[in-house]
Structure 1
Amino acid sequence: MSDQSVPDNTGLNLPTNLQIFGKVDPNVRKPTAIVNDSVITGTDVDQRVALIAMANEGAKLSPEDRDRLKLQVLRQLIDETLQIQEAKTADITITPAELTQSYDAVSKRFNRTPATMAAYLRQTGSSDRSLKRQIEGELAWQRYLRRRVEPFVNVGDEEVKGIIDRLEAAKGTDEFNLKEIYLAGNATNGQQVYANARQLIQEIQKGTQPFESYARQFSEASTRAVGGDLGWVRASTLPPELAQATQSMQVGQVAGPIEVSGGYSILYLTDKRQVLTADPRDARLSLKQLTLRFPPNTSQAQAAARAEAFARATKDLRGCGTVEKVAAGIGADVVDNDTVRIRDLPPQLQEVMLKLQVGESSPPFGSAEQGVRALVLCGRDDPQSGNLPSSEQIQGQLEQQRVNLRAQQKLRDLRRDAVVEYR
């Protein structure tokens, strides 16, 4: 038999060339648990899965994806139960009136009344009870952190000054806007977690849901609540494994699974800039947009012909003052917008708009279904040189980071002390 031993980097003093006795599949588990005498039922899990699917615009899940999501949801419900229980030890209880108020606010965001929201949730396989339970967990944990953690987080003036000094010294270095999904893994389940991460990346790359939705569903880091957002960071502040991956990524790219301490990370690079350096993509543009809509059932050939005629017309523009006249001649609509940042445009248009002079038009863009468009540049306000964040901003960011770290540590302690019985 070949040697199956691996170096023990876990600190668990594992035997070399170990053998598994018995047949155990950790993924075969009924979705029911008792957490310190609080019961989580299979219905609780099914309704939360349906709630996640509803929040992601009715995402269709394969049987395999649904089974994997059920296990993830069960872990989240266990954490949620532990958080609510711990909040109650600090005399924090979310009242029915507070739950109703928050539930009504969520209903409004979905353009529904509380009554029609409840009916809609039942129709999708969830319930208002499941949504209110999620709201209760989030509110209880937030208040617990404010009462038991935040008062003991301190950031000194010297520490803030040190960061400002380091920012000035780092001027011109790259800074990355990252989102992360962290999946906890150990020597026992590491291979399965890695496989799950690979499958998750494949789903993300299909583009059916935004990265943030997957982060809220699957990430086991405290940033799950904010869609995995790590904010703007420099490579030097990241763990070495993440720093190496980040520096080789392109904007819009997803990378992973990246093995890190305690599990695996999936990274999404949403933007990139240089510290305290003005970025041309932060320029604000004054634009006129011309839109030529196509009749229904327009063929690709007809669309191409009309787009070519549209291109000839926009090429003859003589500044923004002639836009309305040209638009009237070709039957196009005109919309003004004076607040567009270049970085907020699709990547293909960013490169085009960076090169345009005032009064010039972009090449036509669009589709046979949605018509053809062009952007005419009427004015441009270039960004000022990058400014240092204020001391108050830096202090707030540091305090939030430390609260998040202590929240993770507290949740790990609660998990270790919990009595969880699966049924």
Structure 2
Amino acid sequence: MAMLSVGASSLAQTVPDEGSAPSSALDLPKNMTIFGKGDPNVRKATAIVNGSIITGTDIDQRLALIITANGGKVADEEKERLRVQVLRNLIDETLQIQEAAANSIKVDPAEVEQSYERVAANFRKSPKDFEAYLRQQGSSSASIKRQIEGELAWNRLLRRNVQPFVNVGEDEVKSVVDRLNAAKGTDEFRIGEIYLSATPENAAQISANARNIIDQIRKGGSFAAYARQFSEASTAAVGGDLGWVRPAQLPDELATAATEMEVGQIAGPISVPGGVSLLYVMDKRKVLTADPRDALLSLKQLSIAFPKGTTKEQATDRAASFASQTKAIQGCGAANDVGAKLGADVVDNDNVKIRDLPGPLQEMLLGLQIGQSTPPFGSVEDGVRVLVLCGRDDAAAAGAPSSEQIQAQMEEERVNKRARIYLRDLRRDAVIDYN
């Protein structure tokens, strides 16, 4: 749904918001007495933003989307913290919609509907069924459509008022190309990031919020869903996906963390200029080097089901027998005959990319020669199966991105920086009444 989405080799956010002065610039007294018990991080349930009302229902429905993304498993204490963050997000969203309207930018309802239909399709539901599903979860189609409208309006505003004034020189692009070629064979990472802006005054609270987000993700929450709701980078619209980046493209703090992480790990909060980041390593490969996991395989799958009531011990014995008989398979030409003798179902699978398979299977298949089979795998419920490798088409080495792609990525990074400053200024000028 994002108009300014990040490309496959996007540059990560590396520049702090301009104007975020250090605490010394505020000339704060060394010994302070706090008069009163007000907590600026505790907000009431609703707000009026420059005359636009955010209701408790708005917050509840947006919160329900987050809870749904976490399988409904969110503690009551966490829900209250999330409500505060959701309200902040809705305020930002309202400011973005208002600013777009002030600049005579209108979003056609048909565009919103088209994006909504794509979201529904991602859930494998028709728009009507998806609407009913959202109601069951305590949310609504109106909540998602408002978020879509905000994204479309804000990105259109950036394209009009910011993007035309961002320039990247040819020398800058050439420098990136030279560094990329020099980095051939080194590691690059598919990174997800959740960026939360912070000031010296609220840094502790923001870090606590970040740790809570990590806890929820580690308990099974969706990184992409949390990034979409909470990240303040433009990549929020694509689930925080920065694309493929090299450590040199990341801030030093993020680069250090990425190189120490394994695929599937999440780390943070990591202090970066202007705030904190949560980092998720989705994948890893070598720069400009063919990745064996991009090879396309031709496979035969032999599978047998266990009768209802089979115990784990019985399944283990049957799997051992299945393994000994399938181990003798000599090439795919014999797989059908062996399958028939075992009473196994035999299915051909072509153009299977190793990368798309579960991790343990990837490792097994990478080590197989043509005609060999994997050890049996499965479960009591799903039965047991083996894969026979019939053929492999290795991937060609990845080419360097074009100068045009690199230029577009650098321009987008600069647009993102200015967008953060733009939103910061809108917050400062807003009249917000909490009810």
**Structure 1 and Structure 2 fold alike (TM over 0.5):** yes
Residue 111 of structure 1 deviates from its aligned partner by: 4.7
Contact in 1 for aligned 2:253/2:270 (Cα 8 Å): yes
Q: Which residue of 2 aligns with 1:398?
A: 410
Which shows bigger deviation, 72-81 or 376-385?
Answer: 376-385
Contact in 2 for aligned 1:145/1:407 (Cα 8 Å): yes
- Aligned positions of 1:202-213 closer than 5 A: 202-206=215-219, 208-213=220-225
Q: Which residue of 1 aligns with 2:50?
A: 36
Q: Which residue of 2 aligns with 1:422?
A: 434
Give yes or no for the alignment of 1:156 onto 2:169.
yes
Deviations along 1:188-217, whole A, 9 cap, x unmatched? 3222222222222222222x2332122123
Q: Which residue of 1 aligns with 2:178?
A: 165
Give yes or no for the alignment of 1:295 onto 2:307.
yes
Structure 2 unaligned regions, length at least 5: 1-21
Q: Distance in 2 between matches of 1:34 and 1:404?
A: 27
Q: Which residue of 2 aligns with 1:382?
A: 394
Could you tell me the TM-score, scaled by structure 1's length?
0.90
Structure 1 unaligned regions, length at least 5: 1-7
Letter of the 1:252 partner, please give it. G
The counterpart of 1:219, out of the listed 212, 215, 231, is 231
Larger RCO, structures 1/2 (Cα 8 Å, 6+ apart) = 2
Deviations along 1:206-235, whole A, 9 cap, x unmatched? 2x2332122123222221111111111121
Contact in 1 for aligned 2:191/2:243 (Cα 8 Å): yes
Q: Distance in 1 between matches of 2:315 and 2:128?
A: 46
The counterpart of 1:145, out of the listed 145, 150, 158, is 158
Q: Distance in 1 between matches of 2:152 and 2:177?
A: 34
Q: Which residue of 2 aligns with 1:4?
A: none
The 3-state SS of whatever aligns with 1:358 is coil
Give yes or no for the alignment of 1:127 onto 2:140.
yes
Contact in 2 for aligned 1:10/1:187 (Cα 8 Å): no
Q: How many residues align?
A: 414
Distance 1:57 1:203, change over 3 A: closer
Identity of aligned residues (%): 62
Contact in 2 for aligned 1:150/1:403 (Cα 8 Å): yes
Residue 9 of structure 1 deviates from its aligned partner by: 5.9
Q: Which residue of 1 aligns with 2:4?
A: none
- Aligned positions of 1:67-106 closer than 5 A: 67-106=80-119
Deviations along 1:381-407, whole A, 9 cap, x unmatched? 222234222223223322332332222
The 3-state SS of whatever aligns with 1:273 is strand
Deviations along 1:14-66, whole A, 9 cap, x unmatched? 33354433223334321211111111111111111123334x27523221121
Which shows bigger deviation, 306-315 or 393-402?
Answer: 393-402
The 3-state SS of whatever aligns with 1:402 is helix
Which shows bigger deviation, 296-305 or 123-132?
Answer: 123-132
The 3-state SS of whatever aligns with 1:140 is helix
Q: Distance in 2 between matches of 1:90 and 1:360?
A: 64
Q: Which residue of 1 aligns with 2:282?
A: 270
Letter of the 1:140 partner, please give it. A
Contact in 2 for aligned 1:251/1:271 (Cα 8 Å): yes
Could you tell me the TM-score, scaled by structure 2's length?
0.88
Letter of the 2:57 partner, please give it. T
Contact in 1 for aligned 2:296/2:354 (Cα 8 Å): yes
Letter of the 2:190 partner, please give it. N
- Aligned positions of 1:185-264 closer than 5 A: 185-206=198-219, 208-264=220-276
The counterpart of 1:179, out of the listed 183, 188, 192, is 192
Distance 1:377 1:412, change over 3 A: same
The 3-state SS of whatever aligns with 2:26 is coil
Q: Distance in 2 between matches of 1:388 and 1:374?
A: 38
Q: Distance in 2 between matches of 1:10 and 1:268?
A: 33
Cα RMSD (Å): 2.2
The 3-state SS of whatever aligns with 1:49 is helix
Residue 360 of structure 1 deviates from its aligned partner by: 0.2
Residue 301 of structure 1 deviates from its aligned partner by: 0.7
